[in-house]
Structure 1
């Protein structure tokens, strides 16, 4: 029997989309439109813009708003658009929230304030002020490895009382804490760690915000689809088969933004360069990423042949 999940406010299979740039480093809005269309056509029902993978620290406020407008134009209502607006400055984040709403976003991704390392009462006040700044729902972004500050489970539980704080992008690597919040709130939990897509979904998560989906959106979607269909063993096989690519993209010495753009460029898909201080992947890294990607794709194609395994539908 298919397993059921609570409604996911921004869809289930979300991609943490890269921000395409031209060869000269300018914002490539045409490339963003084409990449967004491809991602939605291949199974993503939500796109997260201007997050970590989207190089938000190096894009201007004007570029962030233009990106939302371009992607909205490309995908229409076929996918939810969640705009990253988090900064280390509460007032600045609140203004970005209002601008994202004007640009046509469906929701906001708001990261914990970084560098200043505020205490938990200040973290709570920060998110509350941003939630009050617009009419859009919020996805809190808990990634202490980058920000230096955790959204503690008790803080998350208190924030869940706000009517516009509806979801979490979870990169805290705390299974116990995640389950504690899931058990005591209605927050929709999206894992931001590709190796956890199936595990988090199986304990009641809403889905994922995937960096790897930039290059294999249909594969990430198929894991969730198989689990929803009750084919849990198939979901596990799909997750494990994707692990070499997930490890190469997310657990190597290079940031996910760099590896995603390296693969997209190798596949002649919109991406372009990264902006400093990030640097492009070296030739050997790019070639190894492409080799692992091609192995995953060829294995998936083989499994779709008549009489070989079970094909999971990708909507």
Structure 2
């Protein structure tokens, strides 16, 4: 009997969508970024996604994005993969950021669907192909229509999967049927971008996750994948369920995940700092609730 091994995920299984630490004055805190990155990798993250939604990419400059990649690469070396968020609403600008990320030492780029202009599917496809053609880095497609207003439709995914450098998807589509259709017909590595889907997507052939909540509890989220891989499906389900309170408090409490994660990291005396406007910090009551949920999960 011949068995075919499942290909290793291109960037590892457990990826953190890392926040971008700032100083109290609002400047980029590269020392804090290095300390946070080192902690996340030591606590089980296989990869770090920089300058994504959680990393406040809309309010960091191109120079800051490149400096962040260089600093984090210096901190983690080859212990973890680095995926740089380069997506914008402008194809030319996205290409420029992809080339800069490659020069700075990234292992891959995360490219979100162009937002606001709401391009049709043929234009979405051409955008991704143009970016993938521009550099030598592998590309992660970021499907998050709730923010961009435009879906990467399954048929578009199927066509894009034929490109040699389009290798993965961060899936925030909330279309589990469409996701499974693409999984069944391509070799794209699907990463859960919504923490409540970590186990469900992994169980049907997903590669792992890209998680905002992993900034807070990297070991606890990785343990879900580890339990499943060890054959402990009931334990994996229990670990997923235990994390739901913190996931909900962080991601579904009416505030962006960047705001809630930074509030809790600051409360834990870990590198974070303020958020940049137009985001505003969480209030004390919200922070106290986050801390309580965090402590309950840690004690579970």
Q: Same fold (TM over 0.5)?
A: yes
Residue matched to 1:274: 275
Residue matched to 2:122: 121
Residue matched to 2:111: 110
Give runs of aligned pairs for residues 257-296 of structure 1, distance below 5 A: 257-296=258-297
Residue matched to 1:18: 19
Give runs of aligned pairs for residues 74-85 of structure 1, distance below 5 A: 74-85=75-86
1:184 aligns with 2:185: yes
Say whether the 8 Å CA contact 1:6–1:206 is kept in structure 2. no
Residue matched to 1:248: 249
Residue matched to 1:225: 226
Deviations 1:246-280 (A, max 9, x none): 00001110110001101100000000000000000
How far apart are the structure 2 equivalents of 1:116 and 1:257? 24
Q: CA deviation at 1:221?
A: 0.6
- TM-score normalized with structure 1 length: 0.93
Say whether the 8 Å CA contact 1:49–1:68 is kept in structure 2. yes
How far apart are the structure 1 equivalents of 2:13 and 2:274? 29
How far apart are the structure 1 equivalents of 2:122 and 2:15? 30
Residue matched to 2:171: 170
How far apart are the structure 2 equivalents of 1:5 and 1:248? 34
How far apart are the structure 2 equivalents of 1:196 and 1:262? 24
How far apart are the structure 2 equivalents of 1:235 and 1:298? 17
Q: CA deviation at 1:147?
A: 0.1
1:59 aligns with 2:45: no
- TM-score normalized with structure 2 length: 0.98
Q: Secondary structure at the match of 2:53?
A: coil
Give the total of aligned pairs: 296
Deviations 1:218-270 (A, max 9, x none): 00110000001111111001000010000000111011000110110000000
Say whether the 8 Å CA contact 1:53–1:257 is kept in structure 2. yes
Q: CA deviation at 1:127?
A: 0.3
Deviations 1:196-235 (A, max 9, x none): 1000000000000001000100001100000011111110
How far apart are the structure 2 equivalents of 1:298 and 1:155? 44
Q: CA deviation at 1:5?
A: 4.4
Structure 2 portions without partners, runs of 5+: none
Residue matched to 1:50: 51
How far apart are the structure 2 equivalents of 1:125 and 1:200? 27
Q: CA deviation at 1:6?
A: 3.1
Residue matched to 1:138: 139
How far apart are the structure 1 equivalents of 2:73 and 2:162? 30
Deviations 1:99-157 (A, max 9, x none): 00000000000000000000000000000000011000000000000000000000000
Q: CA deviation at 1:295?
A: 1.1
Q: CA deviation at 1:298?
A: 1.6
Q: Secondary structure at the match of 1:132?
A: helix
How far apart are the structure 2 equivalents of 1:279 and 1:37? 27
Q: Secondary structure at the match of 1:189?
A: strand
Residue matched to 1:309: none
